Amino acid sequence: MTKTLYLLRHAKSGWDDPVARDFDRPLNKKGEKAARTIGQWMASNGVAFEHVIASPAVRVIDTLDSLWSGYGRKLEPTWDRRIYLASSATLLDVLREVSDEHDSVMMVGHNPGMEDVVFDLVPDDGSSPLREEVEVKYPTAALAQLEIDIDSWGDIGKPVAHLKRFIRPRDLDPELGPDAE
């Protein structure tokens, strides 16, 4: 059996917004556009998932709001505070708790945790050019799709995943490239 995991890093947030806590930072306009663009790409490429787990940080909530507007439908996420600025180990613990009735899950959170999950699950054996792209940078609003050779989410953790797709906003719209980061 194979499980599919989508890892979405939140879109670009506004550092010039005067908020008291990092947790409360909203997206900026380019972040909103990037998330909407990724959502449109997901819809046009048949990306589907049964369950969403997300950090409750404002920039993740905003990312999902913009993503859904591009995707054309909304799934209500399970909000999990443990995802906020979590390590890969913590993110994998959260994933191990997912019900096995879900074969396809999207997790929405923060770096470096998102890219570290890719590094922990995809073998570093030179066979994945996409993994090498993640090593260069996992930019905001980027989406990774991993196919994982496990029967149960409880078994996640060994480097047995295949990185099927790694989509960055700049791949879809050059205006959303590095100078916009």
Over residues 34-38, the mean pLDDT reads: 98
Model pLDDT for residues 56-104, shown as the tens digit of each residue: 999 999 999 999 999 999 999 999 999 999 999 999 999 999 999 999 9
Where residue 114 falls among pLDDT bands split at 50, 70, 90?
very high
**Is 176 inside a domain boundary?**
no
Identify whether 167 is part of a domain: no
Q: Give a yes or no: residue 181 inside a domain.
A: no
* 178 in any annotated domain: no
Residue numbers of the domain that contains 43: 3-162
In a domain, 38, yes or no: yes
Amino acid occupying residue 135: E
User: What CATH number is associated with residue 152?
Assistant: 3.40.50.1240
Question: Does position 180 have pLDDT exceeding 50, yes or no?
Answer: no
Q: Pick the more confident residue, 21 or 169.
A: 169
Give a yes or no: residue 171 inside a domain: no
Residue 174 lies in a domain: no
DSSP 77: P
Q: SS3 breakdown of the chain: % helix, strand, coil, rounded to 5?
A: 40, 20, 40
Type and span of the H or E element at 132? helix 129-136
Residue 170 lies in a domain: no
Q: In this structure, what token pair is assigned to residue 54? A: 């997300």
User: DSSP labels for 1-59?
Assistant: --EEEEEEEPPPB-TTS--SSGGGPPB-HHHHHHHHHHHHHHHHTT---SEEEE--SHH
pLDDT, one tens digit per residue, over 147-166 is: 999 999 999 998 889 999 99
pTM: 0.95
Number of domains in the chain: 1
| Residue 138 pLDDT greater than 90, yes or no | yes
Dig out the tokens for 85 from the structure: 């600025």
